Amino acid sequence: MTDDNVGSDRVRSQAQPIFILGILPRCGTNFLSELLCLHPDCAPSAPVPEDFLVAHTDLLDRYIDKVHKRWNPSWDTEGTVRGLLAASLGSGLTSFLADQAEAKRVVAKTPRVENLGRFFRFFPDARLLILVRDGRAVLESGIKSFGWHRDSALHRLAGAARTIHEFDVAGRDSPWRDRYRIVRYEDLWTNLQDEMREILKFLELDSDRYDFSAAKNLPIRGSSTVRQDGSGDMHWKPVKKTAEFDPMSRFHHWRRAQHARFNWVAGKHLEPFGYEMAHRNSSKLFWILWNVLLDLKWQIVRTLGSIYLKLKGERR
């Protein structure tokens, strides 16, 4: 047995936690978390609403490496103690989130997937929901809500999609293949009841105790298009959902050039999740040269940005 699979039966200090990791901010992690917390056996994590614990587990691996090097090799010849240490650290992190959950299953969320491959090493008892969304909607919402730089966000999106796909491919033949589920935002939005029943079944939660009526009428929070507080700014106050609210149409105004750029950078990486590219025939010489030039521009901007941040850090 490898150290990645050790600790599941020995580290159980709280009810089985539920983690939601999203492909990027604006993919709907808040929506999915609120839906889950309508179940009486679930509670949101406290004291932080977005924990980013998984995103920095590489630092815990470095810690474990340093500790393990100080051990006599005869103490841990099979890596079992090392694996138990990782699971124990993860259990402590989960306890931090679950302190206010009152014995319910804590629902933790982070809208990023960095270090996704380390997840079950540190959280072997957890159930994991990976939320994806049409990258065009994510991109448009991020630009409108947070002023994202379009090309930088496109490359982050492509990298996150690759991370999820690689995790899924590796997971299909792994001991934890039944402990994670990829959820599409669009399936939640268009087929809420059936999708939630499948998710509740996966999480081993009783769907007969779930309030599907409340789920259907869940208010909108943090939308990039709903502005009803008078300020015109994005806010997280609950807003009643109306028939006009349509999160599926964020990018319907895109021109061919925007689709061509999206397809070039990120489109192919989202296809494994069922997202089809528009204007797939944008592979003519003009569009290829156009994208290559934009790639060069992005690399220059990224390099200059890195130099600026380094110089800024040295001056402090």
**100 is a domain residue:** yes
**10 is a domain residue:** yes
**159 is a domain residue:** yes
pLDDT in tens, 224-267: 565 545 555 665 677 777 677 788 888 999 999 999 999 999 99
**279 is a domain residue:** no
**306 is a domain residue:** no
Residue 130's domain comprises: 3-252
Query: Which tokens go with 192?
Result: 């809420």
**281 is a domain residue:** no
Closest to 40 in 3D by CA, of 105, 96, 90, 86: 105
Task: Count the domains in the chain.
Answer: 1
User: Is 80 exceeded by the pLDDT of residue 11?
Assistant: no
The domain that contains 69 carries what CATH number? 3.40.50.300
**172 is a domain residue:** yes
Quote the CA–CA distance of 138 and 266 in Å, as a whole number: 12
pLDDT in tens, 49-65: 999 999 999 999 999 99
Query: Which tokens go with 276?
Result: 């089809």
> What is the model's pLDDT at position 6?
43
Quote the CA–CA distance of 196 and 36 in Å, as a whole number: 8
pLDDT in tens, 184-204: 999 999 999 999 999 999 999
Q: Is residue 199 within 8 Å of 130, Cβ to Cβ?
A: no
pLDDT in tens, 266-299: 999 999 999 999 887 656 888 899 999 999 998 9
Sequential DSSP letters for 243-295: TT--GGGTTTT--HHHHHHHIIIIIHHHGGGTPPPSSTTTTSHHHHHHHHHHH
On the 0-12 / 13-18 / 19+ scale of CB atoms within 10 A, 81 is middle
**37 is a domain residue:** yes
**E strand intervals along 119-274:** 127-132, 180-184
On the 0-12 / 13-18 / 19+ scale of CB atoms within 10 A, 57 is buried
